Every structure is written in C-alpha cells, then in structure tokens.
Amino acid sequence: MTGSIEAMNGTVTGAMDDDTTDSVAGAIAHESRTAAAQPAPLVELKDLTRTFTRRGAPFDAVSHVNLAIMPGEFVAIVGRSGNGKSTLINMVAGLVRPTSGVAVVDGRNVAGLGDRELSLLRNRTIGFVTQSQTLLANLTVLDNVMLPSTLYGNTPSGSGDVASEQAEQRARTLLERLDVADLADSYPRELSGGEMRRVSIARALMNTPKLLIADEPTGDLDQTSTDLVMRLLRERADAGTAVLMVTHDPDALAWADTVYRMDAGVLSMA
Amino acid sequence: MRTGALLAVVTILALAFFGGTMLTMNLNTGMTSMERRLGADLMVVPQNTTQKAEALLTDGSPSTFYFTKDIAAKVEQADGIEQASEQTYIASLAAACCAEKLQIIGYDPATDFVIEPWVASQFDGTLEDGQMIAGANVNVSVDGTVELYGRTWPVVAQLANTGTSLDNSVFINLDTVPDMVDASAKVAKRVMPAEYADKAVSTVLVKVAEGYDAQTVAMNIQRLDPTFSDLGYVYPGGITATTKTALNALVTYLAVFVAAIWVMGVIVLLAVFASSVNERKREFASLRILGATRGMLAGILLRESALIGLGGGILGVGLASLAIFPFSALIGRQLQLPYLQAPWPAVLAVMGLAVICSVAIGVIGSLSVLARIGRPEAYLTLREGE
Amino acid sequence: MKNKLFASLPNIVLGALTAIAPQTFAHACGAHDGMMPACHYSQQAATGIGVVILALGVVALFAEPKIRVGLNIAAIADALLLFAVPTVLIGICKGAMMHCRMVMLPTLIVLGVLTIVFAAVAIWLDTRAPKRA
C-alpha cells in the first residue's frame, strides 16, 4: 500500500521553534510525485494565530502556527478536541478570520479576500468535508453532490444543459467510486452515518478542488468504510490534490504523508 | 414544520387583513349607496309612524301607513319648501311561493325628486299605470312579471343592488295604488279600507329651499294647522348620521381587531424566523462551506420567505373570499347596516394589496435572520453548539 | 401514511358536513302553501352527495395510491354535482333573503370548493409520490 508514513519531513515547526522554518524540505521530499522542480506550496500558513475570549480571559485557540502544504501532499493533524484543530482548518478555508498571521491558499491571502472572491475560492479551489453532517435535508443525495457545481451559474466546464448533464455524470461517478451510487435519489435522512460521510466527500470532490480539507472524515465510520474513504483521499493526493485532514483515528493517520500534533493551539511534528 | 407554522401565521394575517378591509369597504359602499337614495331633507309621515318610516329607509321590514291626500296637499303649502312629492307605502304579503314580503312604494313621477334620478340611470321611460320597477332582490320571473295579490304585474326595469331595504321594494306610480289595494282585497285582507285607496298617502317628501333647514320647515308645517304637530317628522339626514355612527363604531372595532392580529402575527413571525436560524444554522453553514456568498444565502432566505408570504397571502385571501362572497347576503342581514358589495376593481385591488402585504411581512420577518448571517464571522455563529 | 390521510380525511369530514349541514344549520326553507319548495329537494340531494363523498373518503382509507387518485377524482365530480344541484339541476328558492339562498347555497358552495381543493392536493400528492419511491 502506498499509505506508509514514508515522508515524515513536513514543513513546520510549531511556535516553540523560532520562525526560521524550512518549508523547502517538504517540497524536496515530494519531488518524485510532483513534476515541477520547485513547486510553490498550495497552502502556506505564517504565524497564524486566533485569539478567543473565554470567561473574560483571552486565549489562543490557534497559536503562531506555521505550515506549508505542497500539491499532492497528504497532511494529517491529530490532537484532542478543543485544541484548535477545527479553528485552524476553518481559517484555511476563510470561514474564521485570523487574529494575526496570514493564511495563503493557492497564492492568495485568504483574510484579504472579499466575500465573493473568498466564496469562489471555497467553491472552486477548496473541498471541505465537515465533521458534522451538513447535507441539505431537502435535496436528494445526487442534488447535494451537485450543489457546489450549481452555486455559480456557469461551471468551470461551461454552462447550460450540457454542463449540468456533465455535472450529473460526474456526481454519479463520484458516488459510484464511494460505493453509494444506489442512494443517488434518496434523501439524507434515509442514509446511515457512514453513507452520509461518503456523500459529503463526494460533494467536496465535486469541483475537483486543489485542496481537500477533511475534518474527522472517518469519525463515525466502520473499518470497511474507513478504508474506502482513506483510499480515496490517498488517491486524490497521489493525483496532485493537497489533502489536509484532521483526525484522531490512528487507522487514518497511517495513510498520510505527514502527521502533526496540535496541542493547546500549538502545532508540532507528531 | 417551520414552513407550515409560518404559512399558517401569514394565512391568518392575510385573512384578517382582507376580510376586515372587505367588510369595511362593503359597509362604506352600502353607506354611500344609502346616502344617495335618501334624497329628501324631510319626510312628513302620519302620527306614531316615525320609527316605521325610519326602518323603511334603512334596513327594516316592510310596513303600511298612510294619511290622506288633503293633509299632504296642505303640508305642501308650508313656507320654505322647494319641492314636495307624495309616496305611498304598502307592505305586501309574500308574493309567490318562496318569496317574501315586499315593500310596495307608490310614487308620483310628476313631482318625484327622490326615486326618478336614481331610476333614470337604469330605466328611461315613463312608468305607466299598472307597471312596476323592481328592486334588486325582487324575484322577477323569466317573462318579466311579478305575481302579487294574485295578479301578474309587468316589470319594466329591475334596479341594481343598493344594500338597503329598497332592494326588496317594487315601485309603482301613485295611480296604480288603488288597483293594488283592490287586488289585495280579493285575495287576502285588504291592506287599507276601500275609501282610502285613492286618497291615501304615506309620506310627503320635502326638499327644502335655499336658506332653510329641515327643522325650520318642519316648524313652518306645524304652524299651518294645530293638528299637524301630531304628525311624524323624519329627517333622513339624521338617519344617515345615526347609521354612520353605528357603522363607524363597527369599522373602528374591525380596524382595531385587524391591527391587533397583525401586531401579534408580526411578533409570532419574528419569533419563528429567529428560532428558525438555530434550526437552519447547519444548513447555512454547509452552504457557506460549499462556497455560497452571503448574497446567495440572503437570496435563498428572501426567496423562501417571499414564497411563504405569497402562499400565505393567497391562501388567506382565498379562505376569506370563501366566507365573504357567498355569504354576503347573510352578513348584510346580520349587521343590520347597509352592506353592499364594493365594485370588483376595488375588490381585486384589496386582494392584491393583501397579498403584497403578506409577501412584505414575510420578507421583513426574514430580515432578522439576514442580519445574523450577514456578519463577517457569521460562520462561528452558525456553528455554535456543535 | 400522510398521503393516505390526506386522500381520505378531508373527504370524510367535508362529506359529513355536506350531508349534515343542509339538515341542520344550513337547512332549506319550509313548505310554502303545502308545497315543498325547490330548495327542499336540493337539500335532500346535497345530503345524498355528502354521503357519497364521505363514503369515498372511508374507502380511501383502505386503498392504494392509484385507487385513491380515482376516488378523489370521483370526489371532485361529486363536488361539481354539488354546485350544479342548487344552481342548475334543481334550484332553490328565488327570494334573495330566503334562508336557503342566504345560508344553504353558500354553505354548499364553500364545502364544494374545499372538497375540490383538498381532492386536488391529494391527487397531486398521490401521483407525485410513486416517482420517488
């Protein structure tokens, strides 16, 4: 299997280290996979911090995090819940604004984007598999999967009937890959937890994102489903997609290239 | 569930708004119609018949009363009278099967200034002896006649609805009155003694001259003969005023009622919308994750709430219509006030307004939600409690 | 289940009302001169139609969707008949202020409209559902 932890050379050192981060190391490690000699990282977090106020006292949910993810790299972050993992990935997706520091995705500073550009970035560049169930209850599974491609009138591949037919074809293919094709016309309430998770992964992949963010993608899945999901994520990474996964499932960790630990807002190598 | 609750609230609002407005409008239409029919400033009627005469003008039951023509002629001599015309009122028995009592009104086409102007808009001939003009509710058979006291009377015209007791009246000229009395004698109790038949007059309608008011003229009449102070004096203007007071009370009550329902409804709507944010946080959060802009979320919300408003508005107007239009006759009778269906363009306008208000209230209700998802870090709000 | 209730309950309730109303609060006028007026016969006919609509509703409780669609089409036809009886087929008393014209006719019309609306919704629900299942 390809999922061994062969590349332990991730990029980042947490905040305890000084800021002389050598992010090139990650790139070198992946030279065999990525064709370009010096590819730019798809995701670059620099001194990223988010401060919340809890019971009157400020605390850093995410504290001075530096991280770079190359295209095709599969990064996993582990850590107990409440340690800032979700806040970190939400900042990457531009859903939460950093207090200080920058998050650059695909060459753009996420915090500097307006609502429309940011939304477009989330729609086109990022695929997000959420921790909780976020399928829309009043749409069928197929419509849920196709939703990202219909939000903006014309899809990247064109517009009109042809495009929507292509989109449906693509959605069905994705569902097939995830072994839930027979549920295409069902409604989310008729699905089991594992089936819903697979459908949301299909939805996240709908617009062929450059960056796939997965928050506990195997959280409530059995072994078979976990393997299926992880194999798919691994395939995406091998095809050049950067994958950022948050998990505490040891089985899932084994599929990642790089594993980090998040503890009280501080990111470090696992 | 949420949609159902919102729809129900909007439906009730639209129903109250449309129903209340329609009732008010129909009452006002009835009132205007009644005012227009009461063209006289003063009615001189026999002793103790003032109330009957008033009832006859508004919405009461038919009655018969009379004094003699010589009194009438003398009354007309009084100072300050510009025009005077005599009328005779006879309450019929139920006409044919399945009909009810009619008010027979005999008037004098030569001097009349009350009925003719109104009739003229719908009948421009002269009313010959033996002919009738029928009010809107009178059951005229297909061959254009009315059967009354065992005789068929040709009807030359049927008048439009007025919302008053005049709709249950037939109009004949004064020369036909003795015929009518004869006819009644043959089939039932005669309505008045034979010797009165050709000299009975129920009322003298007076239009006062410039510079006089109705009360002064009434005084002048009483000064003509000491016995005239026993006569009844009815001031149609006063009746109009009394009816108007009753109507205004009802309209005010309706307005307060509708306003109260709207205030409560808006509060309920806002509460339901506010709680729906919680219910839908997840949905909005996932749309946001998928790359929907704030504008798209707002669009979805606005479209939904406008649709709910539209649906509720149409439902409410439909339900109110089911009550108001088929049962309008019953409503008119129960209110004991002139009640006349407003013209259709006005009804359609109120329908449109009710639906527009419903849509507006739906949109306004969703604004509170809009404000919450519009904030920059709305995503945090949306994911609270997970 | 929801569709089944929608296809049956409104017809049961409205059918019962259509049968009961003309005999009670929305009664016809009494005899005139020993002759039964037209509205009396309309009243009896309306009660009969009401019973039929009620029966259709009861049968719908035990029928599959396809049959329920047919039953509701029948209910619509019955409601149309309910309009026709007091207006065209038999008629009612002619006086505008008579009870049967002021109360019975509008009551029957309202019940008929409601029957048609609910039956139409039930047909829509029952024909739409199978495509999804």
Domain check: are B268 and B359 in the same one?
A: yes
Confidence (pLDDT) at C13: 92
Residue B303 has pLDDT above 80, yes or no: yes
- Cβ-contact C75, C46 below 8 angstroms: no
Is the residue at B305 inside a domain? yes
- Single out the residue in B194, B217, B234 at which a domain terminates: B234
Q: Which residues of B touch A135 (CB under 8 A)?
A: 286
Please tell me the predicted confidence (pLDDT) of residue B97.
46
C85 in contact with B, Cβ within 8 Å:
no
How many domains does one find in chain B? 2
Q: Indicate whether B250 belongs to any domain.
A: yes
Please state the φ and ψ torsions of residue B77, each to the nearest 5 degrees: -80, -15
Test B283 with A137 for CB contact under 8 angstroms: yes
Report pLDDT digits (tens) over A238-255. Answer: 988 999 998 888 878 888
Q: Note the pLDDT tens digit of each residue in B322-367.
A: 888 888 878 877 777 777 777 888 889 989 998 998 888 888 878 8
Contact across the interface for C38 and B330, Cβ inside 8 Å:
no
Within this chain, do residues B269 and B346 fall inside the same structural domain, yes or no?
A: yes
Question: Is the CB of B142 inside 8 Å of chain C's CB atoms?
Answer: no
Domain for residue A163, yes or no?
A: no
Count of residues making up chain B? 386
Is C78 inside any structural domain? yes
Could you tell me if residue A153 is inside a domain?
Answer: no
Domain span at C96: 2-24+37-128
In a domain, C32, yes or no: no
Is residue B253 pLDDT above 80, yes or no?
A: yes
Count structural domains, chain C.
1
Q: Is residue B312 part of a domain?
A: yes
Which among A52, A132, A113, A141 has a CA at the least distance from the CA of A88? A52
Asked if the model's pLDDT at residue A268 lies above 70, the reply is: yes
- Residues B215 and B253 grouped into a single domain: no
Among candidate residues C40, C76, C35, the one with its CA nearest the CA of residue C57:
C76
Q: Does residue B89 belong to any structural domain of this protein? A: yes
Quick check: B322 contacting C, CB < 8 Å? yes
Contacts of B377 in chain A (CB under 8 A): 96-97
Residue that wins the pLDDT comparison between A32 and C41: C41
Question: Looking at the structure, do residues B266 and B159 belong to the same domain, yes or no?
Answer: no
CB contact under 8 A, A95 and B289: yes
Range(s) of the domain holding residue B64: 42-234
Q: Nearest CA to B361 among B76, B1, B12?
A: B12
Query: Same structural domain for residues B180 and B273?
Result: no
Q: Could you say which DSSP state residue A125 is in?
A: T
Write out pLDDT tens, residues B205-247.
Answer: 888 888 888 888 888 888 888 888 888 888 877 777 777 788 8
- Check which CATH number belongs to the domain holding A110 and give it: 3.40.50.300
Same structural domain for residues B17 and B59?
no
Say if CB A123 and CB A152 are below 8 A apart: yes
Mean pLDDT, residues B279-289: 77
Do B94 and B200 fall into the same domain?
Answer: yes
Decide: pTM greater than 0.80.
Answer: no
Best interface-test mutation with C: which of B1, B93, B98, B164 has the largest number of C CBs within 10 A?
B98
With respect to residue A233, please indicate whether it lies within any of the assigned structural domains. Answer: no
Q: Mean pLDDT throughout B112-123? A: 76
- What does the DSSP assignment read for C28-92? ----BTTB--HHHHHHHHHHHHHHHHHHHHHHHTTS-HHHHHHHHHHHHHHHHHHHHIIIIIS--
Report if residue A212 sits inside a domain: no
Q: How far apart are CA B365 and CA B301, in angstroms?
A: 10
Q: Are residues B171 and B26 in the same domain?
A: no
Of the candidates C105, C117, C83, the residue with the CA atom closest to the CA atom of residue C6: C117
Residue B37 lies in a domain: no
| Amino acid identity at B41 | D
B209 in the same domain as B67: yes
Decide if B52 contacts B239 (C-beta within 8 A).
Answer: no
For residue A61, what are the domain limits? Answer: 8-125+238-270
pLDDT (0 to 100) of residue B96: 47
Q: Tokens representing B186?
A: 């043959």
> Does A61 reside within a domain?
yes
Residues B51, B190: one domain? Answer: yes
* Residue C52 pLDDT greater than 90, yes or no: yes
Q: How many domains are there within chain A?
A: 1
**Which of residues B201, B234, B267 is at a domain's end?**
B234
Pair B250, B130 in one domain: no
pLDDT of residue C94: 67
Q: What is the pLDDT of residues B193-214, one digit of tens each?
A: 777 777 788 888 888 888 888 8
